[in-house]
Every structure is written in structure tokens, then in C-alpha cells.
């Protein structure tokens, strides 16, 4: 009989549709506790007998999955906080899935860091999957905990970084839910979790002696940085390129890009002629099959199909949020372009995506240079900066030809 306890922090799509789902699928846990500050959601789940429903999009349709015995507790409520701390003490695996690493220490005694510092203060071996989108999430979390704990690191606790390529979303409109025949998290609630089937999640190497994971589907890597770069400079870069140019070409949903042969081919070219060669050059010494021509081509073709899965119903507007961040010097567009230039490649497809993102941010071709100089600040300099500026300014002049 399963005997372990799984504890989550935050109850968004990644927690519900990945971490909690895989914990339940493993059959290795008897108890499931999630700390969540949305009291209305906590009450709704409790009122539904501690059962939630998620929707999983495959290539041929959507299936619903009930997740029973999910105990949501609000750490801002005194009695709930005590129960969360008790669950942490007995837990063998935990997962944070909150909006940002900046929130680890937010909320005083109800914060993730405070709860963990108290609950994981002693005893048995346990791992925590830090599922926030940050290359150093585990280190950030341990640093926040150290501010609240007399020990530098709680004995037996190892926080793990993750590379999560699983696409997911929270749908909150009744129209979309009806259109796709999606089940809400709980009946009567205007919140619906929709995730893709993909579950190849990469995690840091576990170093706790003799520890065996309950969630065995995750894959350990000695060094996650090459795979984090593949996600940012491969997956995220091309996803954003397709989204911004999809907007230019009048697409509402990512799925319709499958039928746009010219744009779909541009995305594949960005993968195989720009991002791929740059990443293979940088990381071929890992010996991982991903960083070979054949491995990266398979990775790209799989992602292109997943990004445009009609059953995932991914809205272009969701993909193109926050263009300022995505145009950062080291983010998906210019970080990938710089890696390509380092490999002797002219990244014209990615430059076109960056141009579309700049246009979405309201930047005119005439104002582009000053906009990027102000955005990048002293982080960018020299010939590399001038080459990137030249590429994106040239792409902005070509952008009109992509409009439909």
C-alpha cells in the first residue's frame, strides 16, 4: 500500500496537471496536500469532496481525469498552516509551482520559504521539485529558507531544478470551456486546467544517499543548463516567433499555423538552421542525443506538432504576452540570435520574430534602435549589439510582406 505524502505549493496548471497528476499516477503516495492562498478555490475543492478534474490534450482529442483526495489548505489560515507544516514533516516529495521565484519569501509566515523552513527542519530524506521558470530556482528557494532557519540547509532536503517543456493553461471563460467541452476544476467553477500529454520532465541529479523517487517518470540530469538553454533558445524562441508572426498574419489560435505553410516552414527553419546548430555546437560534448543533428531535428518536429495541437487550443494572445521581457538581451530572441552568431550563423528567421515582437510592443522601425538600447542598457555592447540591431531593423523593413 502507498504510504508517502506529496505536498505542493500553488494550485495552478503545472501543479494540478503535472506534479499532482504524476504523483497520483505513480501509485506511491497515500496523501496529497497543496498549499493555496485562494480561499474561494480551497472552499470549492473541499465542497467537491476534495476532488478536482483536469483536461489532457493529446493529438487526437481531450480526455478528462479526476484527481481525488486532494487536500487544499490556505497557509494564511492558522489551523490550515499547522496542517501544512505537519504534512511537510511527513512528506517525501514536494513541488513548488507558483508564478515566480520572487514570491518564495512573500507572505510572511504564510510564505513558501517560511513553511518549508519550519516543516523540513529535521528528519528524513525528501526532495522538492522547483517548477518555476528560472534556471536557479532551487538555489533561490534554499536562500530564502536560510533567512528563516538557524541551519544553512535543512538536513535531508534537496531542492531540485526542473526543465518543464509541458504546455499548459488555465481557461477562465465559459465560452471556451463550452467550445472545447472542457470540465472545470470543480463543477460550477469558472476555472479549467488544460494540459498536454507530454511529460518528459528533466530534473537535477539527486544526491541523497539511497533516496528513491515516488514520481519516477521524471529524468535526472547531471547538468541541467544545456537542457534549460534548449528550452529557452529552442522551444521558447520558436514558440514566440510563431506567436508574434501568427498575430501579424491574423491567426487567433496556434493550431491554425499548421495550415500556414510559409509560417510553419519559417518556424522549422529557425529550429534547424539557427537555434539547432548553435546549441549543438555549444553542447555536443554532453553526449546527449538531443545535441546531434538527428536528435535536434526530432526534437523540433515534435515541438512544432505539439505547439500547434488543435486540442490544446492555445491562444496566440497568450503566447505573445510581455514582449518587453521576451526581447531582453539574454532572453529567447536575442539570446538565441547571439548563440547563432557565435556559431557563424545569420539568424534571419529569429530576427523576423523579434521584429514582430517589437511591432507588437508598439515600436516603429524609426524608433527601434533607441528602444533596444534603452531596453538592454549596459548589458549589450560592441559589435555583437550592432549586429543584432542591424538584423532586427532589416527584419522590421520586411515585416509588412508577412501581413495577410
The yes-or-no verdict on residue 13 having pLDDT over 70 is: yes
Calpha distance 344→352 (Å, rounded): 18
Per-position b or e across 38-50, b if 16+ CB within 10 A of its CB: eeebbebbeebee
pLDDT tens by residue, 87-103? 999 999 999 999 999 99
Residues 6+ apart with CB under 8 A from 374: none
pLDDT of residue 1: 60
pLDDT tens by residue, 133-177? 898 999 999 999 999 876 566 778 999 999 999 999 999 988 889
pLDDT of residue 404: 75
The yes-or-no verdict on residue 332 having pLDDT over 70 is: yes
Please identify which residue in the block is written with the cell numbers 472545470: 184
CATH topology of domain 225-402: 1.10.1040
pLDDT of residue 298: 98
pLDDT of residue 382: 95
Nearest to 85 by CA among 53, 117, 62, 107: 117
pLDDT of residue 152: 60
pLDDT of residue 150: 62
Confidence of residue 373 (pLDDT cuts 50, 70, 90): very high
Mean pLDDT throughout 24-46? 97
| Spatial contact of 97 and 66, defined as CB atoms under 8 Å apart | no
Confidence of residue 123 (pLDDT cuts 50, 70, 90): confident
pLDDT of residue 151: 59
For 73, the enclosing helix (H) or strand (E) is strand 70-73
Nearest to 192 by CA among 97, 52, 87, 58: 52
- Average pLDDT score, the chain: 95
| Spatial contact of 64 and 53, defined as CB atoms under 8 Å apart | yes
The CATH code belonging to domain 4-221 is: 3.40.50.720
pLDDT of residue 370: 97
Long-range contacts at 140-146 (CB < 8 A, ≥ 24 apart) = 140/101, 140/104, 141/96, 141/101, 141/104, 141/112, 141/113, 141/116, 144/104, 144/105, 144/111, 144/112, 144/113, 145/113, 145/116, 145/117, 145/120
pLDDT of residue 341: 98
List strands edge to edge, sheet with 192-196. Answer: 62-67, 52-57, 192-196, 168-171
Q: Where are the domains of the chain?
A: 4-221, 225-402
Q: Determine how many CB atoms are found less than 10 A away from the CB of residue 378.
A: 6
Q: What percent of the chain has pLDDT over 90?
A: 92
Cell numbers given for 119: 516543516
The yes-or-no verdict on residue 240 having pLDDT over 90 is: yes
What residues does 35 pair with on adjacent strands? 9, 73
pLDDT tens by residue, 252-287? 999 999 999 999 999 999 999 999 999 999 999 999
Calpha distance 142→146 (Å, rounded): 6
35-49, 67-81, 149-163, 352-366: range with lowest mean pLDDT: 149-163
Mean pLDDT throughout 116-122? 89
List strands edge to edge, sheet with 4-9. Answer: 70-73, 29-35, 4-9, 93-96, 126-130, 157-163, 202-204, 219-221
Please identify which residue in the block is written with the cell numbers 533596444: 372
Calpha distance 166→18 (Å, rounded): 8
Amino acid at each position: 500500500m502507498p504510504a508517502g505524502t506529496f505536498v505542493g505549493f500553488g494550485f495552478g496548471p503545472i501543479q494540478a496537471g503535472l506534479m499532482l497528476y504524476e504523483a497520483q499516477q505513480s501509485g506511491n503516495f497515500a496523501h496529497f496536500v497543496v498549499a493555496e492562498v485562494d480561499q474561494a478555490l480551497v472552499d470549492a475543492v473541499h465542497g467537491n469532496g476534495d476532488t478536482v478534474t483536469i483536461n489532457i490534450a493529446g493529438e487526437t482529442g481531450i480526455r478528462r481525469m479526476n484527481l481525488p483526495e486532494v487536500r487544499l489548505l490556505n497557509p494564511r489560515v492558522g489551523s490550515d498552516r499547522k496542517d501544512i507544516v505537519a504534512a511537510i514533516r511527513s512528506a517525501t516529495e514536494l513541488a513548488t509551482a507558483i508564478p515566480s521565484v520572487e514570491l518564495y519569501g512573500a507572505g510572511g509566515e504564510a510564505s513558501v520559504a517560511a513553511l518549508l523552513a519550519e516543516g523540513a527542519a529535521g528528519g528524513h530524506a525528501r526532495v522538492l521539485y522547483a517548477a518555476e521558470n528560472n534556471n536557479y530556482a532551487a538555489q533561490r528557494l534554499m536562500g530564502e529558507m536560510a533567512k528563516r532557519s538557524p541551519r544553512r540547509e535543512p538536513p535531508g532536503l534537496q531542492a531540485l531544478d526542473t526543465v518543464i517543456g509541458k504546455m499548459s493553461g488555465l481557461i477562465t471563460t465559459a465560452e471556451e470551456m463550452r467550445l472545447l467541452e472542457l470540465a472545470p476544476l470543480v463543477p460550477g467553477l469558472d476555472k479549467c486546467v488544460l494540459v498536454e500529454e507530454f511529460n518528459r520532465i528533466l530534473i537535477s541529479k539527486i544526491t541523497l544517499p539511497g533516496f528513491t523517487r515516488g514520481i519516477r517518470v521524471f529524468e535526472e540530469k547531471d547538468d541541467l543548463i544545456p537542457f534549460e538553454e534548449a528550452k529557452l533558445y529552442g522551444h521558447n524562441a520558436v514558440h514566440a516567433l510563431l506567436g508574434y508572426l501568427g498575430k501579424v498574419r491574423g491567426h487567433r489560435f496556434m493550431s491554425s499555423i499548421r495550415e500556414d505553410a510559409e509560417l510553419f516552414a519559417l518556424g522549422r527553419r529557425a529550429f534547424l538552421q539557427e537555434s539547432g546548430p548553435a546549441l549543438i555546437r555549444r553542447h555536443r560534448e554532453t553526449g546527449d542525443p538531443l545535441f546531434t543533428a538527428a536528435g535536434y531535428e526530432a526534437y523540433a518536429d515534435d515541438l512544432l506538432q505539439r505547439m500547434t495541437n488543435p486540442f490544446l487550443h492555445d491562444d496566440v494572445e497568450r503566447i505573445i504576452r510581455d514582449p518587453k521581457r521576451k526581447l531582453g538581451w539574454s532572453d529567447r530572441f536575442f539570446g538565441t540570435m547571439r548563440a547563432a552568431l557565435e556559431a557563424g550563423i545569420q539568424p534571419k528567421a529569429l530576427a523576423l520574430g523579434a521584429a514582430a515582437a517589437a511591432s507588437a510592443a508598439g515600436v516603429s522601425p524609426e524608433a527601434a534602435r533607441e528602444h533596444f538600447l534603452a531596453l538592454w542598457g549596459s548589458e549589450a555592447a560592441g559589435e555583437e549589439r550592432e549586429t543584432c540591431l542591424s538584423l532586427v531593423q532589416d527584419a522590421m523593413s520586411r515585416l509588412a510582406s508577412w501581413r495577410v
